[in-house]
Amino acid sequence: MTKDVWRIGVAGLGTVGGGLLNFLSERPGFAPAGGQAVVTGVSARSRSRPRPFDISNLAWFDDPVELAKSPDNDIFVELIGGSDGPAKAAVEAALGAGKPVVTANKALIAEHGAELALLAETKGVPLLYEAAVMGGTPAVKVVREAMVGDDIRSISGILNGTCNYILTEMEGMLGQQGPADAFRAVLAEAQRLGYAEADPTMDVGGFDAAHKISILAALAFGCAPNYAAAEIEGIEQVALLDIQLAKDLGYRIKLIASASRSEEGVLVRVHPTLVALNHPLAQAGGALNALFIEGTRIGTIYLQGPGAGAGPTAAAVAADIADLMTGAVRPVFQKPAGQLKPFTPVDPAKSMGRAFLRFLVKDEPGVIAAVSETLAEAGVSIESFLQKPVENADGVPIVLTTHAVAESVLTAAIDRIANLPSVLERPRLLRIARI
C-alpha cells in the first residue's frame, strides 16, 4: 500500500521509545518508498514525567489499547515490554483492528508468538519484531530472510549484554584485591551505569536470553516458539574462582544461549559456558552480543554487534517501520501461522557434552583419588586436571574437565561426589561449548 504519510502510534516512552522519537525527529526525510513516517500519538505510564524529547504536539493516550485502536494511526509500535498485561492487550487490539504492529518485546513474542501470528495473518497485517533479538544487530532478518533457502542446524551465542558486561568486568578483577562477592559488586556498578535494571532477575537469571533464543529457534526450525521448554541457568552462581580456573585451562566463561535440532527434536538452553579463549565468542566483551548460525548449505555465519541501547534498538524498530512502508509481506515466522506447532523438546539429560567441574575439598591425603575413582565408577572420563591452592580459602579448589558424557551420567556422579566426607560443598558444573 502506497501512502504519502504513515501515522505512527508509539506505546512506551522509555529508552527505546525515546530513541525512536529522537530518530524520527532527527530524520524528517525518513521516507522509504516515498512515504513519510510521522509519530502522531503516544502512550506511557506518566504524561508528566520529564523526558529529553518533546511530546507536546502529539496526541496523548492514557490507555495503550485506545492508542492501538485509534483510527488516527496507521502503524502501532509497542515498546512497553512484558509478556502479558497492557503490552499484549494493546498488540492484540491493534492486530484485531487490522493495523500493522512493530514491537521490540521479546517476552511477548517468545511466549505468545504463535497466537499473535495467527491473529495477524487472519487480519492480513504484518507483525514485525527485529528489535526483540540483539537490538540493532539484524539477527531476526538474517535467520528469517537471508537463510530461508538453507536448513539451519544450530544457533548459539551471547544474547544478553548485561551478563556479558558483568562477566567481562569480573574477569578484569582477576589478580586484584577485590570485594568478597565480585558478582554483586559488578552488578551494582552495572545498575549504576544503566546496563542492568533495578531488578536484574530477567537478565542475570538467563530469562531474557531464553526469550531471544526461543524466537530464533522458531524462525530457524519452522516451529512455534516454545519458551516453556527452554532449559535456563543464569550467572548468579559464577564465582571469581571459576573465572580464574577456567582461564588457567584456556577458557573464558560466557552466558551462551543455544538451539540445536536433531532427529529427537530441538534442544534450547541457556547456561554459563566455557568458551576457548581464541574463539570469536570469547573475544566479544563488554555489552556486545554475538551469534553463530550454522546451516547445511551456507555453512557458518557470525554476527556481532550492540544488543541493546536507545540508538541501536530504535534503529531496528525504524527498519521494521521501513519494511511496512515499502510493502514487504512475509509470515510472522518461517511458516504460515496455521502450520506452526511447538517443537518437540529433547531431554537435556540425554545431551552429550564436555564439562568443567570445580570441587572444594579438605586438604588431606586421598581426596583426589576418591574423586577420580567416583567419576570412573560412574563412567565419566577425565580430560584435564588442575589443583590450585587459594589464599584464605576454606578448602583446596580442584578443577577438571571431562570428555563428552551424557548429562544424566554426570549429574549422578556429582551427586555421589557431593556426599564424600572430604568434599566441602556441592561440586560446581559448567558446560564447555561445542562450537
Strand partners, 158: 290
Within 13 A of 308's CA, how many CA atoms are on the CB side? 23
Tell me the CA distances in angstroms from 217 to 74, 142, 165, 257, 343, one per residue in order.
Answer: 31, 13, 25, 11, 9
Q: Which cell goes with 102?
A: 512493530
Contact 58, 20 (CB under 8 A): no
Query: In sequence order, what are the residues at sequence separation of 6 or more whose Cβ sits closer than 8 angstroms to the Cβ of residue 424?
Result: 360, 361, 362, 394, 395
Count Cβ atoms below 10 Å from residue 173 Cβ, excluding itself: 16
Active-site residue among 69, 88, 106, 212?
212
Secondary structure of 330-397 in HEC code, one letter for each residue: CCCCCCCHHHCCECCECCHHHCEECEEEEEEECCCCCHHHHHHHHHHHHCCCEEEEEECCCCCCCCEE
What is the Cα–Cα distance from 165 to 47, expressed in whole angstroms? 33
Q: Which of 187, 232, 236 minimizes the C-alpha distance to 345?
A: 232
**Rounded distance, CA 377 to CA 382, Å?**
12
Query: Is residue 212 annotated as a catalytic residue, yes or no?
Result: yes
Label residue 49 exposed, middle or buried (CB < 10 Å: 0-12, 13-18, 19+). exposed
Q: Is 370 exposed, middle or buried (CB count within 10 Å of its CB: 0-12, 13-18, 19+)? A: middle
**Active site residue ranges:** 212
